[in-house]
Structure 1
Amino acid sequence: MTASLAFLASPRPEAKAAKSRLENLYGHAPIEEADVIVALGGDGLMLDALHMSIRTGARVYGMNFGSVGFLMNEFREDGLPQRIAEAERARIHPLRAFGEDIHCKPFEALAINEVSLLRETRQTAKIKITIDGKSRMSELQADGILVATPAGSTAYNLSAHGPILPLTSTVLALTPISAFRPRRWRGALLPRNVRVGFEIVEPSLRPVSAVADNQEFREVARVDVVEAHDVTLTMLFDPGRDLAERILVEQFEN
């Protein structure tokens, strides 16, 4: 039985035009009813599609119309149902971030790539770090810090000089962003089942935002991050170009 497809396009005119042609070729199901969401864009659109799939359980197959497209397959119009049927599956768990701001207002969000804490002003952020409730760093002075999944390790984490993690690894990357003190600290690799806690030192004087993929929460006081084992997302990749292979290739490219 052929999977029902929903097409999602970035704002680029060429992506919108391709969406129209593909819908004429293969039909178009509502996203809420589709077996597969076909994302036409870059990695940002792939993240949007994956967040949509949290609600529906759909698999996500991306085709590149963006500038990077690390998570995307090559764009081709022909044979799409067969490509999807033969695609290799990568199953991932997002991160769950929860905490409260300086006004005691709680927040919670899921992040597929990373959870980042970022200074809001010119002043350096000061952040206490705990792992499973035990203090591991009493005060990090930096522009910020992030926790990245293996799937997200080649995104912001890599730009911040964090490690690339194979998709099958059982660790998360804890990576500082422009650390001032301790100056030589480069972060840590953490088991995926830990609870990472961040407490903002002087949160009113040195405000910090928490960002879970594309959701931002301002003036946070504390943030906890855990892997959401209860949520499983499925990405589809053409044979020989799955995410594990892409992560391996990335480590040998300039």
Structure 2
Amino acid sequence: MAALSGGGAPWRRGWLPALQLVRRGSKAVTRHWKAMHFQRQKLMAVTEYVAPRPAIPPCCLPPKKETPEEVNFDNGYVRLLRRQVEEVFRDNRMIAVCHYNAMPDEDMVLMRYYLRKHNIAVKFVLNEIARPVLSQSKYKNLLPLFVARNILLVSPELKAKEMLRVLKGVPQVSLLGACIDNTILSRQGVENFAKLPSLEASQGQTVGALALLPSQTSSLLQRGSAHLLALLDQHIHRLRAGESGSPTEPTPAQDVGAH
């Protein structure tokens, strides 16, 4: 008993049984993917959330001002594009801004062909590239036209009439305005400009109008002297008739002598 009740008894020292790991048998996976029921699919489609449309379309909102973070994206390629826009506005006398809608490639090629026959080129310019250039130039009044997707029709000559004739058959391209000889015109202004006669005809009309007034003035100045010359010729004729002794009316000289 003493031996059993000694101080070294394990149950007095808080002995615990050894832990044993028991490995249970693994079960097979019995849950597989199953297609959703047709009725539930319809219910999920009907109850799907649809975001409301904005009251004002994004294209109609005023352009967002550039922030300093957006200005920092400038790189060499952007500077090259801006330099090309500056050259377009510097080297051409007619720059027309048009709104461009999607159209087949064949129609675009045909339109460019007919415009090229009149020495008119088509330029695709991004608004992000054109707006900074125009805001620092004398063409800044054209900025309201660069809102949506636009194209430029440029020419070193004044070909407004030919341009309108080609655009009449292309409804996908609408003329918004133009800058002709450093003068900004609206669509109606471009149409009125196209109705004007050619430069040679205008110069001929101007020369004719300027030559008409001097000719009328010269005829008025010569009318008095011509009338006086006719009266003197008639007086000399009467004097000669009186010297010949023919019984004619008394001449003005005889009347003066009688008095």
Comparing both structures, which one devotes a greater share of its residues to helix? 2
TM-score, normalised to structure 1, is: 0.22
Compare CA radii of gyration and give the structure with the larger one: 2
Relative contact order higher in (CA < 8 Å, ≥ 6 apart): 1
TM-score, normalised to structure 2, is: 0.21
Comparing both structures, which one devotes a greater share of its residues to strand? 1
